[in-house]
Amino acid sequence: MSRYISYLEEPISSAPLGVFRALFGAVMLFSIIRFAAYGWIEKMYVEPTFFFKYFGWEWVQPLGNYTYILFALCGVSALGVMLGFKYRISIVIFFLAFTYIELIDKTYYLNHYYLVTSLSFLMIWMPAERSFSLDSLRIKVSNLIPRWTIASIMLLIGIVYFYAGLAKLNTDWIIEAMPLKMWLPNKSHLPIIGSLLEEEWIIYAFSYGGLIYDLSIVFLLMCPRTRRFAFMMVVVFHIITWYLFPIGVFPWVMIASSTIFFSGKSHQKFIDYVYRTFSVKTESLNDGRYLFKWPLLTRWIVCGFLCFHIIFPFRHLMYPGELFWTEEGYRFSWRVMLMEKAGTAQFSLVDRDKEAKISVDNRDYLTPLQEKHMATQPDFILQYAHYLVEQYKRKGMVNPEVYVDSYVALNGRRSTRFINQEVNLAEIRDSWKHKDWILPFTGNIKGF
């Protein structure tokens, strides 16, 4: 045990972490600017009247027009992270601001946003400003850092890829080539490769290629002999996904993150090159003195955080039913590109005293995107049902009951009824327990 600990504490070059920090900050800055430029702040966080809260985080409130300030804070702190200027303060502010934004509405949950939150949390605890930063030019410190810092980032990236690969080990992906079989033929308008995308063997090649990539890429990145090839694959893979699918900045986050696997020497060469280009003078401080302290609390926080990431994605094993159907344990588990799901949910409120039944037009309360996500995810359906009850109480209905007539289609199967239409959702409380008011999946998916 102590051998492992001393291995993890071994001082190594901080160059990979410095470059990683700079790239991470740059991608985040780009991501924030892009988000604002598309008008999404307004559309997602200012305009809607209702927000889907995460279970346990209901206290997070939308900020209306102050959301712009939060985004500005996020952008400025991302710049601070990128430049390594007042690093600790920058990364703490970035983590808090970014995470708060994500918690406002789970409609916009994306795995790579969760990755950003996780990475920025991890980075709070490590001295990522020791190399390639304005801070390191101002204050003289050793540019050696303990190995656990870089190793824990590698582990998190490794989990993302490997778990994404494990999640693809199911019959829909392997045998049916779903959902790629639904997605790729719809891309046949693309130049050059377009006409190939409706060929069955191409679709299977994409499926298997993706699976093998996800499962193996981290090991290829770890091994010095295959690293260059692996990084090339990372770039090619993510550029293809960027070209084919609307996945935003995810490819850039992953390409930037994968650079962490390169050696201190390679990174130092890159840093020296940049410094030379901008004529920055540095003194070598690599004098072997090890100046970074690793407080006990930090050990426990980082260790606990990584254990959480290893275990939490497997929580779906504790729920009965098909994961893709119920989505109990689906989020926060690196399940990407696995499903094509669509649904309709027609709610009605029933007033027993007056024997009245009123159907709801979801457009009165939700944006099209919110409606789309709500219709396929049970926790959204429940939360929205409760919101409707409040709305109709306000309109004068006494003790309204609420029912939903909902249908969902998953990975190319015909739509079937999703939620038990006999259950009064007003009486259901959300919890971590299995939602027995979801009707069983009629299809058959085997696998992990």
Q: Tell which positions 90-109 bind other proteins, by CB under 8 A.
A: 108
Interface segment toward other proteins; rule CB under 8 A; list 94-102, 142-150, 152-160, 243-251: 243-251
Does residue 241 belong to the site contacting other proteins (CB under 8 A)? Answer: yes
Question: Taking the complex as a whole, how short is the minimal distance between the CB of residue 201 and other proteins, in angstroms?
Answer: 6
Rounded Cα distance between 302 and 353, Å, is 56
Contacting residues for 83 by C-beta, under 8 A, at least 6 apart: 22, 25, 133, 134
* Interacting residue with other proteins among 339, 382, 402, 423 (CB under 8 A): 339
Question: Taking the complex as a whole, how short is the minimal distance between the CB of residue 190 and other proteins, in angstroms?
Answer: 8
* Interacting residue with other proteins among 85, 100, 162, 208 (CB under 8 A): 208
CA distances from 245 to 154, 237, 269 (A): 26, 12, 35
The residue with tokens 């009951």 is 401
Question: Taking the complex as a whole, how short is the minimal distance between the CB of residue 341 and other proteins, in angstroms?
Answer: 5
Rounded Cα distance between 90 and 106, Å, is 25
Does residue 40 belong to the site contacting other proteins (CB under 8 A)? Answer: yes
Q: Tell which positions 356-395 bind other proteins, by CB under 8 A.
A: 356, 358-361, 363, 367-369, 371-372, 375-376
Does residue 342 belong to the site contacting other proteins (CB under 8 A)? Answer: yes
Complex with other proteins: residue 199 or 427, whichever CB lies closer: 199
The contact mask relative to other proteins for 47-86 (x = CB under 8 A, - = no) is ----------------------------------------
Cα 413 to its chain centre, rounded Å, is: 27
Q: How many residues bind other proteins (CB under 8 A)?
A: 79
Does residue 424 belong to the site contacting other proteins (CB under 8 A)? Answer: no
**By three-state DSSP, how is residue 146 classified?**
strand
Q: Is the torsion defined by CA of 319, 322, 327, 329 positive or negative?
A: positive
Say if CB 25 and CB 76 are below 8 A apart. no
Contacting residues for 218 by C-beta, under 8 A, at least 6 apart: 154, 157, 158, 161, 162
Does residue 213 belong to the site contacting other proteins (CB under 8 A)? Answer: yes
The contact mask relative to other proteins for 169-188 (x = CB under 8 A, - = no) is -------x--xxxxx-xxxx
Does residue 441 belong to the site contacting other proteins (CB under 8 A)? Answer: no
Rounded Cα distance between 369 and 270, Å, is 43
